Amino acid sequence: MAVATLGSVVLDCPDPAALAGFYAGLLGGEIVSGGEDWLELTGVGGPLLAFQAAPGFVPPRWPSPDGSQQIHLDLTVADLDAAEKEVLALGATVLDAADRERTFRVYADPAGHPFCLCAG
């Protein structure tokens, strides 16, 4: 028997409003305030995605054994090329997308968190 259920995935970041806006552009949904220095993205399905201000935030480095990636999201898309254009327009940066035959590509959100676009 499970002890708990997953309530939310929380991303630390220097600017919760900017990062919430990026993910709202990527996933849809509505940004709502969850209190000072905390925003939530609702209406996207799955667990709640939240954004928390983290003073002194140091973005993860991917891939690097010296700088843990901390967490990453796998996001399923219908068309990798089309999705790539959209996430780059939203402010993502490419981390590992040179192999166009793979079923996934790796990017970083504006705060530096890695995420993958995965063929669905």
- What is the full DSSP assignment across 26-44? HH--EEEEEETTEEEEESS
pLDDT tens per residue across span 36-79:
899 999 999 888 899 999 999 988 887 777 766 677 788 999 99
pLDDT tens per residue across span 95-119:
999 999 999 999 999 999 989 999 9
**Structural domain boundaries in the chain:** 7-55, 63-120
Q: Count Cα neighbours of 81 within 13 Å in the Cβ-side half-sphere.
A: 2
Beta sheet of 114-119, edge-to-edge order: 73-77, 114-119, 104-108, 93-96
Does residue 96 contact residue 54 with C-beta atoms inside 8 Å?
no
Say if residue 91's pLDDT is above 60.
yes
- The CATH class, in words, for 7-55 is alpha beta
Say if residue 3's pLDDT is above 60.
no
Q: How many residues are present in the chain?
A: 120
What pTM was computed for the model?
0.81
**Is the fold of 7-55 the same as that of 63-120?**
yes
pLDDT tens per residue across span 15-47:
999 999 999 999 999 999 988 899 999 999 888
* pLDDT band, residue 1 (cuts 50/70/90): confident
Q: Tell me the fold of 63-120.
A: 2,3-Dihydroxybiphenyl 1,2-Dioxygenase; domain 1 (3.10.180)
